[in-house]
Copies of this chain bind each other. A is one copy, B any other.
Amino acid sequence: MLITANEISTFLGGEVVGDPEVQVHAPSKIEEGKEGTISFLANPKYEPYAYSTEASILLVEKSFQPTQSISSTLIKVDDVYASIGLLLDKFKGAQDTSFQISSMAVISDSATFSDKVSIGEFTVIKEDVNIGDNTVIHAQVNIGRNCTIGQNCLIYPNVVIYPNAVIGNNCIIHAGAVIGSDGFGYSKDDAGKYTKIQHVGNVILEDDVEIGANTVIDRATMGSTIIRRGVKLDNLIQIAHNVELGEDTALAAQAGIAGSTKIGKGVMIGGQVGIAGHKEIADFVQIQGKSGVISSIKEVGKRLFGYPALDYKEFLRAFASMKKVPALIKRINALEKQLAEQKDQDKQENKSKE
């Protein structure tokens, strides 16, 4: 795709300063900008690159006033960040709208879907699966018996969905993710041997959910593991049986939530965070990367840090003070010595008085 400065400016509602006919084929970072690309100046600390970049077009704020000469054509817009999002969408191109069911897929006769669905090679669709319109299922996917997949979904290669899952509309599931595997539940006999507890529940993903590559969501023992509208899960995350994640909650990579924990809406959970089982986390809580949360959090919007996690500022204070302990030990030694000396002295004084 080749597109002119003029076309981009019209699309973004901006203003061209320079050659309106210069063409670009891809976006680039300002410090790596090459001829034929469009770069962005959003963060003022990158301004020096504006004078050296080779990008053909540079997107800048309306208020930007260059202090040196710039070789790029400028497009001035109200909000550079928002414009980047729109442009990345444009360069990604429209979703392919020609749907195709591969003759190399194995699809149960009882599965139902219209001709506005794509199913890739070597994909297996089991009995009683229902798939919504405009959904694209890539190659080598496995969708178990009685699953429901919504409209406008995108399911990448090697995704495995166990039976009875319900996936909403506009969901994206990345390669290798597993939805609905058995929960980790056993009863232990007196000899210490484990007996498996069957899991007859399922997983529900509401609308607008995105699931990262190789992430795993276990199904409920009974009832459902529930991922609410708008939840975003990064890669390699573990969601155990009977967990519930509230609307617009986001988890960064390698986080793990143990069984039956309920997490509120708008919660932000950093990478590698662990949350113990059977806990409740209030809405809008923020948990710093790698923290370990071992109790319920009732305060809306609380920020947590550490292992075990404390209030954000309390953890930083405690951690800073931990580094001071070796010095404290020396000061206490000195105090004890001083006091002991004083006592000795007092004794001698008292003796001399006697």
Contacts and interface: CB of A to CB of B under 8 A. Distances in A.
A181 B213 contact: yes
A27 interface: yes
A222 B120 contact: no
Contact of A140 (B26, B140, B290, B292): B140
B139 A139 contact: no
A152 to B, nearest CB: 12
Interface size class of A (residues with CB under 8 A): 35 or more
Q: Which of A85, A121, A234, A335 has the largest number of chain B CB atoms within 10 A?
A: A234
A187 interface: yes
A295 interface: no
A248 B193 contact: yes
A54 interface: no
A230 to B, nearest CB: 6
B92 A198 contact: yes
Given A200-B92, A331-B336, A214 B214 contact: yes
A276 interface: yes
Contact of A214 (B28, B176, B192, B232): B176
A5 B231 CA distance: 40
A172 B172 CA distance: 28
A184 interface: yes
A240 B172 CA distance: 18
B157 A230 contact: no
A314 interface: yes
Interface in A162-182: 162, 172, 174-176, 178, 181-182
A114 interface: no
A2 interface: no
A106 B121 CA distance: 8
A59 interface: no
A221 interface: yes
A104 B186 CA distance: 35
Contacts of A306: 307
A46 interface: no
Given A32-B223, A236-B236, 16 more contacts: A26-B200, A27-B200, A88-B198, A88-B221, A120-B124, A121-B122, A156-B162, A172-B196, A178-B235, A181-B212, A192-B266, A194-B230, A256-B272, A318-B323, A322-B322, A335-B336
14 contacts: A82-B187, A88-B222, A106-B122, A176-B176, A184-B253, A192-B265, A252-B258, A256-B271, A272-B272, A307-B307, A318-B325, A321-B329, A325-B328, A338-B339
